[in-house]
Chain A
Amino acid sequence: MNLSTRAPVQWRRPLRNWLERGGIYPSERPPFDPFPTVSDVISAHFCPVAILHRLLHGIELSPGLIAQRGREGAGELYHSFIAFLKSSITNGRLRPPSLGMIRQEFLRFGGDPAILAEIWRSYLEPWSRNRLSELAGISQGERMFFEVTVASEYVPFRREGQTLTYPLRGVIDEINLDRQLIIERTIVGGPDDQEPPESEARQLWLLWKILSSIRHDNFPRELSEVDFSNFHLVVETPFRPFPVDKQNREFEEEVHDAYTWIRDLTLNPRSIPAAYDNQRCELQPGLQCNFMYSVCRRRRFQYPRARPAMHQEFRHWYRPLLWELIWDWHLLQYKLLRLPTNTLEEEGWAVRANVASFLSQDMVELEIVREEETGPVLAHMQDAGKCELIFGTPFVGQRVEVALQEPRENRFVVRTERRYILMSNSTLILPDITLLESRPWYLTRNVQRNMFRFEHLGRENPATAGQDSLVQLIEGLFGARVLRRERSNGSP
């Protein structure tokens, strides 16, 4: 492979006063760089075209993992079930689990029985079989936390003797405090593998780099005494665990390139041709990649004829949608890490609350610390439908989406999909809306993705195309067909 090396960039973070209300007017191109996730960096490192599609077209495929048809979402189910299973063991509900018991629990976990059976057979059965003794050894009350989000504005990476820092955020599948383990779990891999999947090992290393860069006073109280430098890193496939070395000089050097691609593609339309010039499958024939057939080499239809004109309109929308996301979501990530909690509260970006009680597996009763905020929080939740809670701190914490279930006097009950142990009884409630009080930010990615798909719809056969209203709508909007508001005999 011969990807061109790009000059490392000095990451532009927002100025302190921009983070406060009224500090900056959000419009057009943000004057700061995005707050990337570990997956962004892994994608950018794999192939610049993969990160191009991720940033501009909302396509969040993992490039290295070849998804089998019908198994989309399998990884998520796999992760959440293992978190649920282990939590059930530590809280004493399941002891000691047998293979049959685990299978029963999984089939009851929810979802299409045929898909569950397939996931069981392919991933969970081998995982369970290989872990039975480990599961039996889990003691009640063992301190393990699942889906822990870690974020840092200044993660250091060395390059040619100097150190550059970048912001980075990601989710650790499992932290086990008692066994001093940090685990990255994946469904990728086969029974005979001798090495962990490359991107998972790098992902785990990046997560550990984030964790190591966070000052201890930013840890939740429950973790404040923990020294993560002694923890072992493990990538766990369904078939076996692989230890991962904390020293990764080669990748440490290469990370800078990934950040440069992220910055360039975010800001500059001219970087798109450069990304295609460095497309990995062109330079490395025979490479297997998730984007190859579903995105990069998709079929190009004859009709609509007006597709080039449509593209001229569409191409002006992709990057503004990304910038919108940066103003909405990425800026909030900087705020959460940089502003003290009381400023976040004063500015209305977060509200502190305590867990009053766990009513059931998915119902939590919350009490807001500043009582006068209860009314506004309730009104917001009724309006937006849901909120995000951070159990822990914005640096190290479990981020859980909740929906309002029932308002009570000065308290309220929320419903959550999480089914694992929470690391803290104190939480920050974040509003689930954009800067402009309108819509949840995450919908922007769906719009990017589906707009990109719309741009590529079409028909090959002229007769079929002539009867296809979507194709003809495109011809009407961008081509030779005439759009009319009504039939001409409807006019007076």
Chain B
Amino acid sequence: MALRDIRDRVGVVRSRFDTRQNRSVDAFLDDWNSEGENSFIFPVVDGPPGTGKTSVGVIAAAECMLEQRDEQIIYLCYGHFATDVARQKLFELGFGSDQVVRLTPDPRETEWARGIVGCSYNLSDLDHNTLRRLQRCGVLLCTLHGSGRAFGVRGVRGTGARVRHTCRVVVDEFSQVPPPLWFASLIRARDVDLNPTSYALLGDPYQLPVVTTQPLLQENVGEFVGRVSGGGLHELRTQHRMHEDICDAVNSLRDALQCPYRLESAEAVRRRDLTHPELNFRWNENACPQDLREIVSPSYPFVIVDTSGLGREERCFGGSLRNDDEAELATRIAMAIYESYSRNGRRLTPSEPSDFKVLSPYSGQVGSIQQRLPPELRGFCTTIYRSQGREYPCVIISFVWNDPNGFIGFLQDPRLRAQTYVGCSRAQGKLVALLSHRCFQGHRDFDYLCRTASAHRVEARPQ
């Protein structure tokens, strides 16, 4: 796509941004020393789900590329999935694989057309042509653990490309990043004599946290920067993703997590259920099994299905869990959605961006549901961990636990309970939560979630 067209698209997006988003983008574009000798510009953006924090990062990267600065943006995330979300967003703006590349550790993943290049940590397996191409890319996306690849690109000499030894460093989803990891990534810039011109952090402190056994390592880098420097955050408060019923559920969870402010819904999404023209689903009620209609109907954007009457969870590989009864129910609901809905006149598709998703905090349950789905539909199911940074028109979550003593494993762990918040906030027009009231009652997050006024409650019966 021509740069002029991309510039137009970026202009349109920025014109829709609210003041807070636009100020965040401007701060990203400032150099660290643009305010003289005594200060250091360091934007930290607090962006709850759906508030467009990744869009802020992506638009800032786009603006930087459009200004034709010979400066690479090193866009780092904790996991591979989040880097891919940012890559897709840049591609959606019109950039191609000569401008945006995601670096992975596996050379067999290389697919230039999709902007993916796999290479060893020291880039020794890349030829000069490939390196030259990467050196001229505007944005390199990578995980923090693999950041040496991204920083290393401009450090390689002798490729024939003349490039400045500067870059801008953006870290997305900072809630998962402990300060040691952030510092450990930055040293990679020094290894190749890069002198970054700016640093920025994007994230939501209440999403997936730093996972650690050590209290001294629990702080994320956003909190750390705030603590040691006393600097403020750019707070994004308006969400542009969820129907207001779902946003209510997410705000209930934010209350439980003691977040300092509630999310406001943008007018455009407030009443946007699955049948809204923007999402454009059509429901054929007759194609849905009668006992599931109340759950699947688009009229109820937020449904809680009580699975107390179903069977118990079991331990499986990796210390994970599965609950066969709940997996069976989740599969039936997924199949009912697949059979009874169409979108834009076609069948629903699991390929990204998927039309709906079945999520679970446990990879064991994901495996169990996938085994029950026809092979071509297995892509409809994934873990909450993998879904971070993405959004889906419809989301079903299987919480798995049905322990008579009310034990809910890591879902009550202060470090991992954010899985619930992340899972629920992936949904745009419909959210179905499968959870056992008997087991989850008394756990703060779930008590708040179940008390959400907009929730439609259904009881699951054993088949």
Contact = CB atoms under 8 A, between A and B. Distances in A.
Interface of A: 21, 26-28, 111-112, 313-314, 316-317, 320-321, 323-324, 327-328, 346-349, 351, 372-380, 383-385, 403, 429, 431, 433-439, 443, 446-451, 453-455, 457, 466-470, 472-473, 475-478, 480-488, 490, 492
Contacts of B15: none
Contact of A347 (B179, B229, B232, B315): B315
Contact of A473 (B199, B214, B216): B199
B185 A450 contact: yes
B40 A472 contact: yes
Given A327-B213, A347-B319, 18 more contacts: A28-B214, A324-B212, A346-B315, A348-B315, A374-B367, A375-B364, A379-B383, A383-B363, A439-B211, A448-B180, A450-B185, A451-B183, A454-B190, A473-B32, A475-B40, A485-B27, A485-B233, A486-B41
B228 A313 contact: yes
Contact of B214 (A324, A468, A476): A324
B44 interface: yes
A472 B318 contact: no
B367 A472 contact: no
Interface string B184-206: 11111110000111010000000
Nearest to A345: B317
Contact of A380 (B124, B317, B415): B317
A431 B181 contact: no
B30 A447 contact: no
B88 interface: no
Contacts, number: 225
A145 B215 CA distance: 43
Given A320-B217, A431-B318, A453-B187, A485 B43 contact: yes
Given A451-B183, A483-B225, A376 B368 contact: yes
Given A477-B228, A481-B40, A320 B214 contact: yes
Contact of A375 (B40, B216, B371): B371
A224 to B, nearest CB: 27
Nearest to A453: B187
A483 B40 contact: yes
Contact of A379 (B37, B315, B370): B370
A86 to B, nearest CB: 26
A373 B230 CA distance: 50
A433 to B, nearest CB: 6
Given A380-B363, A487-B34, A457 B370 contact: no
11 contacts: A27-B215, A28-B213, A112-B124, A321-B217, A323-B213, A376-B318, A379-B366, A437-B363, A439-B145, A457-B187, A477-B225
A385 to B, nearest CB: 8
Contact of B216 (A317, A372, A448, A450): A317
Contact of B364 (A323, A379, A436, A486): A379
Using C-beta atoms within 8 Å of the partner chain, give the interface range for chain B.
Answer: 35 or more
Interface in B24-81: 26-27, 30, 32-35, 37-44, 80
A454 B386 contact: no
A27 B185 contact: no
A323 B195 CA distance: 33
A111 B416 CA distance: 41
Contacts of A380: 317-318, 320, 363-364, 367
A490 B23 contact: yes
Contacts of A443: 145
Given A434-B211, A484-B40, A21 B195 contact: no
Contacts of B195: 467-470
A373 B316 contact: yes
Given A436-B416, A454-B186, A447 B181 contact: yes
